[in-house]
Structure 1
Amino acid sequence: MSSLFPALDAGSERPALRFGDRSLTYGELRSAAAATAARLDGAERVAVWATPTLETAVAVVAALLAGVPAVPLNPRTGGRELTHIVTDSRPALVLAAPEDELPHALGGLERLDVTVTGTSTGTGAVPPGGKGSGVPDPEAPALVVYTSGTTGPPKGAVLPRRAIAASLDALEDAWGWTSADVLVHALPLFHVHGLILGVLGPLRRGGSVRHLGRFTTGGVARELAAGGTMLFGVPTMYHRVAEALDDDPQLAKALAGARLLVSGSAALPVHDHRRIAALTGRRVVERYGMTETLMNTSVRADDVEPRTGSVGVPLPGVDLRLVEDDGTEITVYDGETVGEIQVRGPNLFTGYLNRPDATAAAFDGDWFRTGDMAVRDTDGSVRIVGRRATDLIKSGGFKIGAGEIENALLDHPGVREAAVTGEPDPDLGERIVAWIVPADRDAPPAAEDLADHVAAQLAPHKRPRTVRYLDVLPRNDMGKIMKRALHG
């Protein structure tokens, strides 16, 4: 692996990046990134103010060319958390677009404005990417991506160049991803999904990316109709697409013409899968990954059978197993036995920055303990049932995944959104609690009706014992429901 971006090394007039009405060819990106990379010489680590702009993409590519680890910063992060990230990662400077106003928490950092306007195709030399070595070290850190910090301050996952290349090349195989693909997305660029898959992925393949800046179904329809071949999104985006399809024939036509629709970062509800497939003839492919592991599994683009509700099979090079609470490996493929996912392979991080204790707790150097619970079907495909900390409910002697109950609830016509949690119960150990956003706020479905609906679809012991109604479910920037914010 002499380079993460062979097409960038060559440079050309082919389109590489487009954000709104601003774009760069591979030659222009090469010039802009090389100019910025030359200014990073000697830096141990740099931060990137990760707005959805050309400047962010150029900054990250420049850091990778220079062999300097980059720390993407979420512009919506609060001052306290941002201070923790900067203190923990100690970047030498922060890269930002010239017009960006940076918060007080970054006031102590030297600022480097990233300029992309006026760049020409040029043949500027691309730095070797290995701090003096002609061949980049595959184990060298490329990015430090901070986790959401649901159980304490965010931890910086150190992602080596090897992990980025391995995950993107495995997806090339699973998705038939080529240089002819044009990716459309509107995901944030401080996260694995939007940055590594959504920007670095097309660049590694030699294709192009069109970032919408802000997600709209109109923008999706426009870009797919104008030559886009792939769409990346999160369930919230696909839910909005599904709701818009009935009244937007242009959107339906554009989706029908896409080669591949991919959803990730959380489970896509079954009813949204079915609605999109019914109205466009296209199924949405799901994949499963984490900040620490990048991509682990995916439904393949060439699968003949639909795998609604599945995240597919392990990607090439990835080993995956399910284990019991005591670490015993689960060897059955019955679609019922729930276990924690553990993975190993070249896609894994090297550890948490400055946190050997946290690294040792999650990663023994071979297997990474994901904290995600799943079952495996007879064909080896994986179905996620939730997080161990928030989605595994132990009720009446049963281990129950919240995800399957949520899907059952979403099949009820009176339910717009649903989340399921557990809370202490003196008899059952934990009782199942359903949090419901009704389709009609003035006429919510009765709790008894919802319980009976779930019991009829799944099993009586999986019915919710308590139902609570909300106007909206709390979600983070990636559209994931923040279950820790739900309480009685």
Structure 2
Amino acid sequence: MSALIPALDKQPAKPALCFGDTALGYPRLAASARALAGRLAGHGRVAVWATPTAETAVGVVGALLAGVPVVPLNPRSGDRELAHILADSAPSALLTGPDDELPETAAGLPRITVGTEEPADAAVPEHMEPGQDSVPALIVYTSGTTGPPKGVVLSRRALAASLDDVADAWQWSADDVLVHALPLFHVHGLVLGVLGPLRRGGTVRHLGRFTVEDVTRALGEQGGTMLFGVPTMYHRLAEAAGTDPALAQALGGARLLVSGSAALPLRDHERITSATGARVIERYGMTETLMNTSVRVDGPHRPGTVGVPLRGVDVRLVDDDGSRVEASDGETVGEIQVRGPNLFTEYLNRPGATADAFAGGWFRTGDMATRDAEGCYRIVGRRSTDLIKSGGYKIGAGEIENCLLEYPGVREAAVTGVSDPDLGERIVAWIVPADDADRPDAAALAEHVAGRLAPHKRPREVRFTTALPRNDMGKVMKRELG
């Protein structure tokens, strides 16, 4: 029996994967993946050209059945980054779709074409899927914001534990049809968005690319019950829902709307709820830990927080000196550290970096947060880019960004800290105006923050820009600002 995807053996008569016009039921997915698993026998590690297609999903499932670790590759990676990942992970082959065009950097690898048709003979020896939970399943490369991307080794145990924990928090079942348009080279789109529904015996309907029209159709006409997205997607849905009755009805009819990968501004929470009656819940995870916390579907609506620790995950806050933060006042900031079966095994080929990432068995996330009296965590940003130490205060960029987004005429906002001889760091606000010809007044923006939050949190400088630099998951790349 498949330990990670039991439904492959039960073979329910229902769709497993829907990618555009391609739909695979569980029997066909099982046959195609098992046929591929047979071809992967003897391989030590393979890469997959992770396009948003059924072939990518079948490739990953086949590798899991074969017990072969798989390295998802971003098809949009530049030559230097791609060359680094391939040299570091040293895959013996590259899994691709039949029509994929590869850059010269990857063209030298032996290529295994993944098919989605049902083969004539798909028998695979039962011993091919390993029984050991510690066996590596995926090696997912980080974004490389502080150096070359590192390969995060995720075990089968980590995948199973994290998916079962979120299923508990979200009451995820085989009846759910998950809709999303997330990339499949990242844990959000691949682990949660593909392996998540398959582990439950449900259905994933991938849109290929995000459009408001496709979300409306998938939730309103095609039976979608859950939607995964990132804040940039929900921002567009929030803007459209107020004037699009079909979209509002589709969102309102979904069982669960989940946002992740970055904080969803409170304004977008409110606009979606106002237009649809539905609430968006947020969760918190990262490549090294998979999922850590979430707002629960059976708990209170807590917009602006990422909820409580998942069932099998321990979470704590620590101060700069490593001492545990005991306060649950919603104000005291500390670094999030986690431990549990969801954690990665190691950074590939980097024992020193692996050791440095842990403190007495706790993984140092580098994310800063507060915790309220109900145990809900609110992320205020990354220690390296979002924690601003100004005038003796620790200030999280996230709460200032949310406050700025409430101001009329502000479409997007980012906050950074820059060196200041008097304050240590001064707060700089980067504003994308709704109308560049009618920008909000900079002094009024600063006073708005001072009045809503505190005087020491007001921006000392406001800079206007036409767009904020973002990565493939919609996160603002603050290191590129300035």
Structure 2 equivalent of residue 46 of structure 1: 46
SS in 1 for 2:204: strand
- Once residues 230 and 127 of structure 1 are traced to their aligned partners in structure 2, the CA distance between those partners, rounded to angstroms, is 35
- Taking the aligned partners of 2:419 and 2:169, their CA distance within structure 1 comes to 42
The AA in structure 1 aligned to 2:123 is A
Q: State the 1:2 CA deviation.
A: 5.8
Question: Which of 442, 449, 454 is the aligned partner of 1:454?
Answer: 449
Cα separation, 2, equivalents of 1:99 and 1:480: 30
Structure 2 residue 423 is matched with structure 1 residue 425: no
Deviation readout 1:371-398 (Å, 9 max, x if unpaired): 0000000000000000000000000000
2:389 equivalent to 1:386: no
After superposition, the C-alpha distances for 1:153-190 in whole angstroms (9 at most, x for unaligned) are 00000000000000100011100000000000000000
Alignment check: 8 A CA contact 1:37 1:127 kept? no
Name the SS for the 2:395 alignment partner.
Answer: strand
Match of 1:291 in 2: 287
Distance in 2 between residues matched to 1:126 and 1:180, nearest whole Å: 28
- The 1-side partners of 2:87 and 2:11 are apart by 37
Q: 1:193 aligns with which of 147, 170, 188?
A: 188
Do residues 313 (structure 1) and 308 (structure 2) align? Answer: yes
Alignment partner of 1:444 is 2:439: yes
Deviations along 1:247-287, one digit per CA (max 9) or x if unpaired, are 21100000010000000000000000000001000010100
Cα separation, partners in 2 of 1:160 and 1:449, compared to 1, 3 Å: same
Q: Which residue does 2:10 correspond to in 1?
A: 10
Alignment of 1:267 with 2:271, yes or no, is no
Output the CA distance in 2 between the equivalents of 1:40 and 1:135.
14
Separation in 2 of the partners of 1:125 and 1:151? 45
Note the C-alpha offset of 1:133: 6.5
Deviations 1:321-361 (A, max 9, x none): 00011101101101000000000000000010001111111
Correspondence 1:173 to 2:168: yes
Distance 1:330 1:441 in 2: 43
Partners of 1:333 and 1:134 in 2: CA distance: 44
Residues 432-458 of structure 1 show CA distances to partners (whole Å, capped at 9, x for unaligned) of 000000111101111100000001110
Residue number in structure 1 paired with 2:393: 398
Q: Which residue of 2 aligns with 1:302?
A: 298
Q: Offset at 1:10?
A: 2.1
- Relative to structure 1, the CA distance from residue 252 to residue 127 in structure 2 (aligned partners, 3 Å threshold; closer, same or farther) is farther
| Alignment-derived partner of residue 240 in structure 2 | 244
Counterpart code for 2:255: R
| Structure 2 partner of 1:125 | 123
1:16-27 aligned within 5 A: 16-27=16-27
Q: Which runs of 5+ in 1 are unaligned?
A: none
Contact 2:411 2:431 in 1 (8 A): yes
Amino acid at match of 1:289: G
How far apart are residue 302 of structure 1 and its match?
A: 1.2
SS of residue matched to 1:329: coil
Cα distance, 1:115 vs. partner? 1.0
Q: Which moved more, 1:331-340 or 1:5-14?
A: 5-14
**Matched position secondary structure for 1:360:** helix
Q: Matched residue of 1:481: which SS?
A: coil
The superposition leaves residues 185-221 of structure 1 with CA deviations (integer Å, 9 ceiling, x where unpaired) of 0000000000000000000000000000010011001
The aligned counterpart of 2:81 is 81
User: Residue 127 and residue 48 in structure 1: after superposition, are their counterparts in 2 closer, same or farther (change >3 A)?
Assistant: farther
Task: Give aligned-pair identity as a percent.
Answer: 69
Cross-structure match for 1:279: 275
1:480 Cα deviation (Å)? 0.4
Alpha-carbon distance in 2 for matches of 1:253, 1:312: 26
- In 2, Cα distance between equivalents of 1:433 and 1:126: 59
Indicate conservation of the 8 Å contact 2:241/2:247, yes or no. Answer: yes
For 1:299, the aligned partner's letter is: V
The answer to whether structure 1 residue 144 and structure 2 residue 142 are counterparts is no
Q: Return the letter of the residue paired with 2:336.
A: I
Q: Which of these residues, 320, 332, 335, is aligned with residue 337 of structure 1?
A: 332
Matched, 1:211 2:225: no
Across the aligned residues of Structure 1 and Structure 2, the Cα RMSD in angstroms comes to 1.2
- Confirm or deny: 8 A CA contact 2:390 2:424 kept in the other structure: yes
Partner of 1:258: 254
Contact 2:431 2:465 in 1 (8 A): yes
Q: Is the 8 A contact 1:415 1:439 kept in 2?
A: yes
Correspondence 1:235 to 2:235: no
TM-score under structure 2 length normalisation: 0.98
Letter in 2 for 1:185: H
Amino acid across the alignment from 1:457: R
- Check the 8 A contact 1:9/1:126 in 2, yes or no: no
In 1: Cα distance, 2:160 partner to 2:9 partner:
16
Q: SS of the counterpart of 1:354?
A: coil
Q: Which moved more, 1:364-373 or 1:66-75?
A: 364-373
Cα pair distance change 1:135/1:115, threshold 3 Å: closer
* Corresponding residue SS for 2:64: helix
Between stretches 417-426 and 360-369, larger displacement belongs to 360-369
- Whether the aligned pair in 1 keeps the contact of 2:65 and 2:129 (CA below 8 Å) is no
Match in the other structure for 1:35: 35
Preserved contact between residue 403 and residue 449 of structure 2 (Cα < 8 Å): yes
> In the comparison of the two structures, how many residue pairs are matched?
481
Q: Against the structure 1 CA distance between its residues 133 and 103, is the aligned structure 2 distance closer, same or farther, given a 3 Å change threshold?
A: closer
Structure 2 letter corresponding to 1:200 = L
Counterparts of residues 56-71 of structure 1 (less than 5 Å): 56-71=56-71
Contact 2:232 2:474 (C-alpha < 8 Å) held by counterparts: yes
Q: Is the 8 A contact 1:34 1:65 kept in 2?
A: yes
CA shift for structure 1 position 414 = 1.6
Distance in 1 between residues matched to 2:12 and 2:226, nearest whole Å? 22
Contact kept? 1:386, 1:403, Cα under 8 Å? yes
Question: What TM-score results when the alignment is normalised by the length of structure 1?
Answer: 0.97
Q: What displacement does 1:12 show?
A: 3.2
- Post-superposition offset of 1:125: 3.2
* Rounded Cα–Cα distance in structure 2 between residues aligned with 1:30 and 1:192: 22
C-alpha separation in 2, matches of 1:134 and 1:71:
18
Taking the aligned partners of 2:11 and 2:63, their CA distance within structure 1 comes to 18
Q: What secondary structure is seen at the aligned counterpart in 1 of 2:338?
A: strand
Whole-Å Cα distance in 1 between the matches of residues 232 and 129 of structure 2?
44
Contact 1:70 1:143 in 2 (8 A): yes
Structure 1 equivalent of residue 341 of structure 2: 346
**Cα offset, 1:108, TM superposition:** 2.0
